[in-house]
Amino acid sequence: MTDTQNNQEATMSKTLYERIGGEAAVNAAVELFYRKVLNDYRINRFFDDSDMDKQIAKQKAFFTMAFGGPNNYTGRDMRNAHAPLVKMGLDNSHFDAVMEHLGATLVELKVPADLIAEAAAIAESARNDVLGK
């Protein structure tokens, strides 16, 4: 086996979460992302600011999930977590706005484009659950 093959093998067996930088990457992304979300009049009403520390923890959960990292959420959990928001009118346009900020945050952190695409695909796959469809 050549070195290149070896490398490739190693890369293939690592999860996106590991390749993107694990918890350190999540921590770097969370604050950038949350500032964007709170500044976006289209969606900030969904983010209750009564407890910033808890909100930050939830954004961490969001990124860990989008990076395919270790988490215990099921599709049903996602439905339940977002059900109150769907009642408030959460729809595709809001989902798209969140996807936009996810992408912009990762670009700002200079994450390679192919990894951004992977993260976006994982987040995208939650669309139906998040929107309760």
Partner 1 sequence: MKGVMVKLTIEEKTYSCQPGETVLDALLREHVNISYACKKGTCHSCMVRSADTLPPEAAQAGLKNTLKKQNHFLACLCRPEQDMIIKLPDQSEFYTEGTVVVNEMLNRNTLLLVIAFEDAFEFSAGQFVNLQRADGLTRSYSIANTPQESNTLEFHIRRLTGGRFSEWLHDEITVGDTIAVSEPRGHCFYLPERSEQGLLLVGTGTGLAPLAGILTDALAQGHSGPIYLFHGSREFDDLYRIDELRQLARQHQNFHYIPCLSGKHVPEGFTHGRVNEVALASFTDLKDWRVFLCGHPEMVNQMKKMTFLKGASMKDIYADAFFVTPV
Question: Would you tell me which residues interact with partner 1 (CB under 8 A)?
Answer: 23, 27, 31, 34-35, 38-39, 49-54, 56-57, 60-61, 64, 70-72
At what angle are helices 113-124 and 52-66 packed, to 10 degrees? Answer: 110
- Between CA 130 and CA 64 the distance in angstroms is 16
The first and second tokens of residue 119, run together, are 């993260």
Binding flag, residue 126, ligand HEM (CB under 6 A):
yes
Residue window 77-96: x/- pattern of binding to ligand HEM, with contact defined by CB under 6 A: ----xx--x----x---xx-
Torsion of CA 70, 72, 75, 81, to 10 degrees: -110
Q: Where do contacts with ligand HEM occur on this chain (CB under 6 A)?
A: 43, 46-48, 58, 61-62, 65-66, 73, 81-82, 85, 90, 94-95, 98, 123, 126, 130
